[in-house]
Amino acid sequence: MATSTPSILSSDLFGGRLTIDLDAIAANWTFLNGKLSGAAECAAAIKGDGYGTGQDKAGPALYAAGCKTFFTAVPAEAVALRELLPDAVIYVLDGLFPGAAEFFPHHDLRPVLASVEELKDWSALCKSAGRSFKAAVHVDTGINRLGLPPGDLSAALGDPDLCGPFTPSLIISHLACGSTPAHEMNQRQLKLFREVTEPFSHIPRSLANSAGVLMGPEFHFDLVRPGIALYGGQAIDTEPNPMKPVAKVEARIMLVRDVAEGDTIGYGAKQTARRPLKNAVVAAGYADGMLRRAGSTDERPGGFAMIGGFKAPILGRISMDMITLDVTDVPDHLVQRGAFVEMLGPSVAAAELAAYAETIDYEYLTSLGRRFERVYAPLT
């Protein structure tokens, strides 16, 4: 007799579980919004699939919390977000890709225009449609990525041919060193942004990312665009993170084994047991977004997981599908086959594991969990 196929994948079929707390995302937005004076608006950067949390869930949660303006990176993300949020204001930070302009009014999206070519494309579209569509204008104040050179903003906005046909609804610039508030670049960019936008103070202005929100009111202007802090990340490197954790990764133990002193663990035989070890093999690897460089060698210690309040250092390299943990000092009853260990969450900050991999929590979060079971629930 044929067995029936279960219609829903059971949790037992996954190596790990990624839990996302939408209430925490909403609470983080409310916290940042509370830092603003009444006049400034708190928007949300939701690019990179909501920093890995799932834009389709994070977007509506933020909207319900009161967020009405969103920044995606690419137009395709914005089109998908529009389906979910018919009344939100949606900006596209990457601006106009060639050939993409006509999709913007169709989905009621606003490009963030970063060059004279883009200004021309948008104005041409407005002229042919006979409508003055809204768009933001990006001015570069030192990061040297997107944006008009600061000296060109005034001439561009004052040029009736170039900018007359559309409605500039926002002028933005982006901080290069917000994660380090004491960096002189922040004051330099702030001053330059003020100067070049002064003649256009009738157009709303926006400079702050998450770090800018936390750095204080002079960075807030009319609208702020936090991203990482909404998703629980560390916006400022030099201060404790005030945000609520949003994501948790738990992975299951497949097997617990003894490793003799002098044996090596994992690919490349890069880590040697200095004493007899108990080793737990866990079903999460770099194919799940675990950062491979957070592995451990004899020369350089790697990251760790938490098991019932006990720290379990990573042993050897992180493989595609598994991680080996040193559980020698963890009580036996906690390290049974099938038990879950916390790789990321309230006890293991994303920024912490990322630091072992010489990267940042932004990269870690956005690479997480294509293969994990994904659950939206409070982190308890």
Query: Would you say 217 or 262 has its CB closer to ligand PLP?
Result: 217
| Subset of residues 205 to 224 that bind ligand PLP, contact rule: CB under 6 A | 209-210
* 170, 136 contact by CB (below 8 A): yes
Residue nearest ligand PLP (C-beta atom): 227
Q: What are the beta bridge partners of residue 306?
A: 311, 342
- One symbol per residue from 47 to 86: x for binding ligand PLP (CB under 6 A), - otherwise; what is it? x---------------------------------------
Query: Would you say 227 or 369 has its CB closer to ligand PLP?
Result: 227
Q: Considering Cα of 299, then 300, then 306, then 309, what sign does the dihedral take?
A: positive
> Of 134, 174, 220, 317, which one interacts with ligand PLP (CB under 6 A)?
174
Residue 190 identity (one-letter amino acid): L
* Three-state DSSP class for residue 76: helix
Q: In the complex, what is the shortest distance from the CB of residue 177 to ligand PLP, in angstroms, rounded to a whole number?
A: 11
163 vs 177: CA distance, rounded Å: 30
Query: Closest by alpha carbon to 69, among 91, 52, 48?
Result: 91
Going across the sheet that includes 110-113, the strands are: 44-45, 69-72, 89-92, 110-113, 134-138, 167-172, 205-206
Instruction: Choose the binding region for ligand PLP from 228-236, 287-295, 323-331, 344-352 (rule: CB under 6 A).
Output: 228-236
145 is in an annotated binding site: yes
- One symbol per residue from 321 to 360: x for binding ligand PLP (CB under 6 A), - otherwise; what is it? ----------------------------------------
β-strand pairing of 310-315 with 323-326: antiparallel
Rounded-to-10 torsion of CA 286, 231, 224, 141: -20
Query: Would you say 225 or 317 has its CB closer to ligand PLP?
Result: 225
**17 counts as binding ligand PLP under rule CB under 6 A:** no
Query: Would you say 145 or 337 has its CB closer to ligand PLP?
Result: 145
139 vs 149: CA distance, rounded Å: 6
63 is catalytic: no
Exactly one of 47, 134, 244, 248 is catalytic; name it.
47
C-alpha Rg value of the chain to the nearest Å: 24
286 is catalytic: no
Where on the chain is the footprint of ligand PLP (CB under 6 A)? 45, 47, 93, 174, 209-210, 225-229, 235
Active site residues: 47, 267
Write out the binding residues.
145, 320
Query: Which residue positions form the known binding site for substrate?
Result: 145, 320
